[in-house]
Amino acid sequence: MNYIQTIILAVIEGLTEFLPISSTGHLILAQNFLKINPTEFTKSFDIIIQLSAIIAVLVLYWKKIINSKYLWKQLIIAFIPTGILGFTLYKYVKNVLLENINITVFALLIGGLILLIVDRLPKQKIDSKNIKQLKTRSLLSLGLYQSLSMIPGVSRSAATIVGGLFSGLSRVEAVEFSFLLAIPTMFAASGYDLFKTGFAFSSYEYSLLFIGSIFSFLSAIVAVKTFTSFVAKHNFTVFALYRIILAIIILIFL
């Protein structure tokens, strides 16, 4: 990887992390397009720049996080399924799923179709609760939905948003909870990955991580502000169609 490739990947990560289109899937496709061979470093790079994008949520939502006594308890409960499954399946995800572009493409396609279906559910049945009203069972269910995002192409954001909608949250509340649940999830994922790799990076690789983290953070700030404004007035159909069209194009040309 060189610095230009690093910036491109970081911007892609920051812009797609919070959109229901799969940041991991886009990174895998971008790396394939840029002829970047998957290595232990590139896999760690993907995870660490995701953490940088998550820090954008801390910056934008720090008041809500500090002032909401109930919020951290809910986030921890919702994180439990992902934490258990992520720890158990870590090697399989990193060494098998993340290297299979076919899985990514079909996950993009199927996820797009699911989003189309969700958008057409009767609004009155899924648009009622706020985050504070979620019970333990609903929170654990949301965590299981998020766990599906270990499959590249599924999208952590899409999975938790769909789970939130089926738990009774409004679109805006589901999106915001998806943002917030990313905080413990990605901190745990990044921390565990760094522990497993033993911080065994060269000085050049550390410089790539530093630059990538900055660009991922800045582009994530833009994405979060834009996405929250968008879902307040629109549904997810445009993202569903984008996923489906992208998957079909890749299937045709690759």
Q: What is the pTM (predicted TM-score) of this model? A: 0.84
**Beta carbons of 209 and 4 less than 8 angstroms apart:** no
Q: Is the pLDDT of residue 94 over 80?
A: no
d(C-alpha 188, C-alpha 196), whole Å: 12
d(C-alpha 221, C-alpha 79), whole Å: 23
d(C-alpha 155, C-alpha 28), whole Å: 13
pLDDT at 139: 94
pLDDT at 24: 81
Q: Is the pLDDT of residue 234 over 90?
A: no
Beta strand ranges found along 103-160 (DSSP E) = none
Q: What is the dihedral of CA 235, 239, 243, 248, to 10 degrees?
A: 80
pLDDT at 244: 95
